[in-house]
Structure 1
Amino acid sequence: MPAKESSEKNLYIVFFLNSIYPISPSLKAYLIDKIKSCSFQKNELISKAGEVCNRLYLIKKGMVRGYFVSESTEITTWIDSENEVFTSITGFFRNQESQEYIQSLEHTYCDYLEYEDYKYCLNHFPEMRHINRILMEEYYILAEHRVYLARIPNARKRLAFFMEKIKPEIVERIPRKHLASYLAMRPETLSRLMKEIG
């Protein structure tokens, strides 16, 4: 589904990348020229299974989730919010059809870089390779957390692990049905456990 483009030039992603590793004036100029901004309405599909996602997004404001469909049931696999980068991993890095859907959970504002521009940055700006390495390390840490979460057999312990690792302020923003799906439990189980915590 096409995003609503913004004609206003936004430097948010430039500041974000510079906070990870100092960027040169030449990389900054390139990014300012190539970065685009967009927004998605609440519950809008950003990318569908079977499509190739060629954009790397940074969330300025809002929240998105990734999910796949199994026997007509949506299974949430990740949830991202402000100052987090998202894309379809196989779609963006392998130029293959995605296995998952990506959906906005709130009215969401993003900056994004298209694949060819991202590759150009990696090939021509050494600092972008440092930034890429740091972002990949962060991604693998988050992926490790998801693997641990999926292996915890007890629902209460899965919720406790999730609450320990995620930013507490976003928990209340996540729709309960999607959080329950992410934590592999029934919504009523999640509601009961959240009441016990609160």
Structure 2
Amino acid sequence: MLPNQNPKKNLYIIFFLNSIYPLSPNLKDYLADKIKSCSFEKNELISTAGEVCDRLYLIKRGMVRGYFVSDTSEITTWIDSENEVFTSITGFFRNQKSEEYIQSLETTYCDYLEYKDYKYCLNHFPEMRHINRILLEEYYILAEHRVYLARIPNAGKRLDFFMKNRKPEIIDRIPRKHLASYLAIRPETLSRLMKERS
């Protein structure tokens, strides 16, 4: 991870949270003091299996994926890009060691909040509880999409579902091997399907 030399310079996350629900001046001040910025080089591991991830990240620019290793294969389970929040769910919310890896797919710039500061916000600022509920709803919607995707038996229909329900501009940015893994499609099948749709 490449730390930001001036962590208070770009408090992107404050603007992001305020767009979800209006923040009080006190919460803005608290976040301005606690939020840190960082960046990751392309293909850098952000969090590894066996670690406790205690940071909630917001992507300002870039792309990350979550994956686990089965035998020797990497299985991509999610892909996030700009204006999306990511963390290890079990690590951040349960303080447990994660079974997944998180990796940047591009040079990626983030703001993040540590768990203790996130918890303080929930306990002391009512608007943060509203934001938390809205973010949880969004997470469950995305989780529901992943469940649907996993149950679609046809590879072409899985790709169509993904393209319909994600930001179309990110498709070409995702390395084909990771997109194929996410969609449970062989890379050569994905290449053929993408050619048919271009």
Instruction: Please classify the TM superposition score into its range, dividing by the shorter chain length.
Output: over 0.9
| 1:62-86 Cα deviation digits (max 9, x unpaired) | 0000000001100000000000000
Contiguous gaps of at least 5 residues in structure 2: none
- Structure 2 partner of 1:131: 131
Task: Give the superposition deviation at 1:7.
Answer: 2.4
- Structure 2 partner of 1:20: 20
Task: Please give the alpha-carbon distance, in whole angstroms, between the structure 2 residues aligned to 1:152 and 1:131.
Answer: 32
Question: How many residues matched?
Answer: 196
Give yes or no for the alignment of 1:93 onto 2:87: no
Give yes or no for the alignment of 1:44 onto 2:48: no
Matches within 5 A, 1:1-198: 3-8=1-6, 9=8, 10-198=10-198
Contiguous gaps of at least 5 residues in structure 1: none
Task: Please give the alpha-carbon distance, in whole angstroms, between the structure 2 residues aligned to 1:98 and 1:53.
Answer: 7
Task: Give the superposition deviation at 1:4.
Answer: 1.3
Task: Please give the alpha-carbon distance, in whole angstroms, between the structure 1 residues aligned to 2:127 and 2:169.
Answer: 32
Task: Please give the alpha-carbon distance, in whole angstroms, between the structure 2 residues aligned to 1:7 and 1:27.
Answer: 23
Task: Please give the alpha-carbon distance, in whole angstroms, between the structure 2 residues aligned to 1:166 and 1:28.
Answer: 30
Following superposition, which runs of at least 4 residues in structure 1 exceed 2 angstroms of deviation? none
Task: Please give the alpha-carbon distance, in whole angstroms, between the structure 2 residues aligned to 1:79 and 1:39.
Answer: 17
TM-score with structure 2 setting the length: 0.98
TM-score with structure 1 setting the length: 0.98
| 1:29-66 Cα deviation digits (max 9, x unpaired) | 00000000000000000000000000000000000000
